[in-house]
């Protein structure tokens, strides 16, 4: 008996292994995938400017990093004792203007290095809805709870999204023609925009990505992973959502990760991933008696496993 429809997936040609460098940008769902990559000790960098929900915000970060255009004092502002920038998430906020500018510009430099060296890039699009400031007419990445009257809300046309994604790929290809780009659309529903509005937004994003991939006028290898479709079809049940009924829960994230793994992670390194997972679970273990001989032997064995892995993969770091 078949109780679930499954989306057919094909194994990717340029799979990710432990020599790969993965750069992840986009909405909050890419954070879920980035956390998985970090857990399994891949060389990955996740959202240096924090969560970026829409394609224009991602394009702005990529272009600015590659053009080495530092942020200036007039591009940041103070609110409730915190200094913020409309181009970045509030995770980068600081208590002073100078420290925020230093943080933004050092992160830009780091972003530039990752764009130049990454073997794989995962770009997750969350919404086609954007906010434009009334004062400067600039589309922001994050409103930072500034009163809504200060913005005009717009739905990006499909053509504008496609053009933005194409420019992003062109920027990357100028410095890194070997990178493989994986586009996804976040399964997180933006219901604050409205139920119909959220569906329109997701449809626009999906249409734009597939329109871009159909043209094949760019020098980078790019493809689409159907995380949104897996959530909507294979996991068509509220038991796969968190308490807010909007975000995928841990079970759903694990499921989509396994589907992603089957496509993009090289099977040759599955045994190493099992070793890493065994160590991670060992580090999470809480003994009844930390001073017991049995636990000391367990710790010695665990340390030996960590040492052995780090000899082969020096970049791995385990929190003890």
Contacts for 175 with CB less than 8 Å, ≥ 6 apart: 66, 115, 116
Residue 271's domain spans which residues?
A: 267-320
- Rounded average pLDDT over 62-74: 96
- Rounded average pLDDT over 159-173: 96
- Rounded average pLDDT over 16-26: 97
Report the pLDDT value the prediction gives residue 320, as an integer from 0 to 100: 63
Q: Do 292 and 255 share a domain, yes or no?
A: no
Residue 103 within any structural domain of the chain: yes
Distance from C-alpha of 301 to C-alpha of 77, rounded to nearest angstrom:
52
Q: What is the DSSP string of 30-85?
A: HHHHHHHHHHTT-EEEE-TT----SHHHHHHHHHHHHTT----GGG-EEETTEEE-
Residue 9 within any structural domain of the chain: no
- Where residue 5 falls among pLDDT bands split at 50, 70, 90? confident
Query: Closest by alpha carbon to 223, among 237, 206, 210, 208?
Result: 210
0.85 exceeded by pTM: yes
Residue 3 within any structural domain of the chain: no
Q: Do 86 and 184 share a domain, yes or no?
A: yes
Residue 45 within any structural domain of the chain: yes
Distance from C-alpha of 250 to C-alpha of 225, rounded to nearest angstrom:
19
pLDDT digits (tens, 9 = 90+) for 251-298: 999 999 999 999 999 999 999 999 999 999 998 887 777 778 777 888
Q: Is the pLDDT of residue 8 over 90?
A: yes
Residue 10 within any structural domain of the chain: no
Report the pLDDT value the prediction gives residue 216, as an integer from 0 to 100: 64
Q: What is the percent of the chain with per-residue pLDDT over 70, rounded to a whole number?
A: 99
Contacts for 39 with CB less than 8 Å, ≥ 6 apart: 276, 277, 280
Distance between alpha carbon 147 and the CA centroid of its chain, in Å?
27
Asked if 205 and 95 touch (Cβ cutoff 8 Å), the reply is no
């Amino acid at each position: 008996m078949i109780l679930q429809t499954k989306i057919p997936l094909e194994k990717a040609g340029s799979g990710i292994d432990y020599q790969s460098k993965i750069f992840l940008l986009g909405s909050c769902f890419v954070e879920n995938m980035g956390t998985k990559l970090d857990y399994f000790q891949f060389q990955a960098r996740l959202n240096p400017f924090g969560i970026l929900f829409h394609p224009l915000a991602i394009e702005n970060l990529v272009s600015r990093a590659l053009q080495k255009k530092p942020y200036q004092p007039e591009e940041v502002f103070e609110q409730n004792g915190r200094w913020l920038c409309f181009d970045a998430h509030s995770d980068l906020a600081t208590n002073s203007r100078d420290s925020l500018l230093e943080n933004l510009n050092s992160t830009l430099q780091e972003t530039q290095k990752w764009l130049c060296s990454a073997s794989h890039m995962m770009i997750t699009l969350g919404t086609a809805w954007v906010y434009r400031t009334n004062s400067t007419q600039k589309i922001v990445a994050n409103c930072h709870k500034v009163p809504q009257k200060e913005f005009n809300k717009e739905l990006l046309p499909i053509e504008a999204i496609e053009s933005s994604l194409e420019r992003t790929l062109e920027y990357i290809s100028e410095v890194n023609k070997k990178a493989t780009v994986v586009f996804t659309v976040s399964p997180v529903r933006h219901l604050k925009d409205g139920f119909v509005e959220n569906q329109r937004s997701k449809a626009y994003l999906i249409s734009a990505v597939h329109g871009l991939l159909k043209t094949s006028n760019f020098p980078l290898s790019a493809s689409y992973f159907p995380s949104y479709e897996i959530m909507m079809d294979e996991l068509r049940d509220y038991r796969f959502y968190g308490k807010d009924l909007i975000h995928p829960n841990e079970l759903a994230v694990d499921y989509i990760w396994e589907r992603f793994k089957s496509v993009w992670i090289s099977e040759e390194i599955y045994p190493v991933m099992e070793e890493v997972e065994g160590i991670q679970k060992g580090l999470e273990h809480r003994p009844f008696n930390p001073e017991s001989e049995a636990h000391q032997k367990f710790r010695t064995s665990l340390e030996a496993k960590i040492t052995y892995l780090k000899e082969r993969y020096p970049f791995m770091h385990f929190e003890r």
